[in-house]
Amino acid sequence: MSGAVFLSGDRVDLRTIEKSDLDFLQEAINDPSVRQHLTIRWPINRDQEEEWFEEQVTSDERINLLIVGPDGPAGTVGLGPVDDPNGTAEIGIWLREREWGQGYGTEASRLLISHAFDRLRIHRIEARVFEGNDASQELWETLDFEHEAVHRDAAYLHGEYRDVHRYAVLETEWET
């Protein structure tokens, strides 16, 4: 069973990530369709997944939540650092392939962004998208993020250099 509901939406809940979720997370993050758009360079074993849990999920610097849809765990969404003196944080999200195109990413991101602006004194939220991940670019544009820059050949992923697109939205621009 997944953790406690932290934020609830119409079709997804954002729940705390618990050790009992690590099997799902390890399996999903190793799926080639998921990791093709992430900086994962090698297989993630159980020990590494537990290390990520201990360093990232239990950190006071980040919020990492499990996205749970009608059929169970769908992916994760995270935000950090949440105590930046400038009020800036980066959001990141991934969903397993069978959940793509159903609006879960949009709803999960909207829930976390609204929470960040309303409760955490965050002023600016940034997102980065690796070239070729059109769905992520569409997600941030749907949520009214501004496309601010392209960093040419800034990431080496899966055997090739890719551009990194940078997006951001300000608290004053955000409408829930």
Res 176: pLDDT? 60
Specify the pLDDT at position 99.
95
Residue 84 binned pLDDT confidence (cut-offs 50, 70, 90)? confident
Write a three-state SS string for 62-116: CEEEEEEECCEEEEEEEEECCCCCCCEEEEEEEECHHHCCCCHHHHHHHHHHHHH
Q: How far apart are CA 65 and CA 30, in angstroms?
A: 18
175: amino acid identity, one letter: E
Asked whether the predicted pLDDT for residue 78 surpasses 90, the reply is yes
| CA atoms within 13 A of residue 155's CA, in its CB half-sphere | 20
Q: Which residues span the domain enclosing 132?
A: 5-173
pLDDT on residue 175 = 79
Mean pLDDT of 101-108: 97
Give the side-chain half-sphere CA count within 13 A for 138. Answer: 8
pLDDT for position 132: 93
- Is the pLDDT at 1 greater than 60? The verdict is no
User: Could you tell me what percent of the chain has a pLDDT over 90?
Assistant: 86
Residue 137 confidence (pLDDT)? 97
Q: Tell me the per-residue pLDDT of 15-40, one tens digit each, with 9 for 90 and over.
A: 999 999 999 999 999 999 998 888 88
- 42-57 residues labelled b (16+ CB within 10 A) or e (exposed): eebeeeebeebbeeeb
Task: Supply the pLDDT for residue 118.
Answer: 95
Confidence of residue 3 (pLDDT cuts 50, 70, 90): confident
Which whole number is the average pLDDT over 117-137? 96
Selection from 25, 28, 20 nearest residue 1 by Cα: 20
Q: What count of other Cβ atoms lies within 10 Å of the Cβ of residue 148? A: 10
What is the rounded CA–CA span in Å between residue 171 and residue 116?
A: 9
Q: What is the mean pLDDT of residues 70-85?
A: 94
Domain count of the chain?
A: 1
Looking up residue 166, the CATH number of its domain turns out to be 3.40.630.30
Is the entire prediction scored with pTM above 0.75? yes
Kindly state the tokens that stand for 128: 């980065």
**Which tokens is 165 given?**
């697109």
The mean pLDDT of the chain is 94
Strand 63-69 vs strand 72-80: parallel, antiparallel, or unpaired? Answer: antiparallel
Mean pLDDT of 36-62: 90
